[in-house]
Amino acid sequence: MAQIVRSVTLPVSGESGTEPGAAGTGMPTVNKILDTQYPSIKQDWQTYFGSPPSPEDVYNVLNHGSSPAQWADYIRALPSHIDNMNQGQYYDMRTLSDQVSTKILGHPSTDGIVAELARQGITGQSAVANWYNIHGTTGVPPDAYKEIYKGIQPTMDGIFNEPAGADPRDIKGIYDGNSPGFTE
């Protein structure tokens, strides 16, 4: 049986922009050597986390597999910021929810809706569309919906880190004269 031996040469701190201690800070360092040697890790990390991996992140992924497929599986299995969802589940659910919300309402979903859908086991496209139709904007004129959506965007972005998403139940509640924030 063949044994796979992998050798990783660690760049010296400062070489090619490498700075220690960037893992988990949200401020990735630049490491052209690692980016060149492991482009699939960089691409997958950016897909699932939205930023390039730090050198520490790349080394962590390398310690959990020996091929691009295994590295991708490991990255997808990492915990997401939503309880009981790994990064792959979150990415898939957020992508589906955003697609359906954009088609029905004209804007992306929110992490709160993604968490709610996952908790309720609503994961198929038709089931998500049905959820949006049930929790939609019945009784809110389209122009009023658009104006309220536009008005809550600074709050959604600044406080909830949702630069384009909104919960239709909040918008309907505002239209009906309630205070925003009564949904998840």
Q: What tokens were used for 165? A: 């998403």
Distance of alpha carbon 174 from its chain centroid, rounded?
27
Can you list the alpha helix ranges (DSSP code H) found in 14-141?
Answer: 32-37, 39-49, 55-62, 68-77, 87-105, 111-119, 125-134
Q: What's the confidence (pLDDT) of residue 18?
A: 38
Q: What's the confidence (pLDDT) of residue 27?
A: 53
Say which DSSP state 53 is in.
P
Handedness of CA 84, 163, 117, 48 (dihedral sign): negative
Q: What's the confidence (pLDDT) of residue 157?
A: 87
For the whole model, what pTM was predicted? 0.76
Average pLDDT over residues 29-37: 79
Q: What is the largest CA-CA distance in the chain?
A: 71
User: In the predicted model, is pLDDT for residue 31 greater than 80?
Assistant: no
User: In the predicted model, is pLDDT for residue 86 greater than 50?
Assistant: yes
Own/partner pairs for 148-151, CB < 8 Å, 24+ apart? 148/174, 148/175, 149/106, 149/107
Q: Using a pLDDT cut of 90, give the percent of the chain over it.
A: 57
Q: What's the confidence (pLDDT) of residue 179?
A: 59
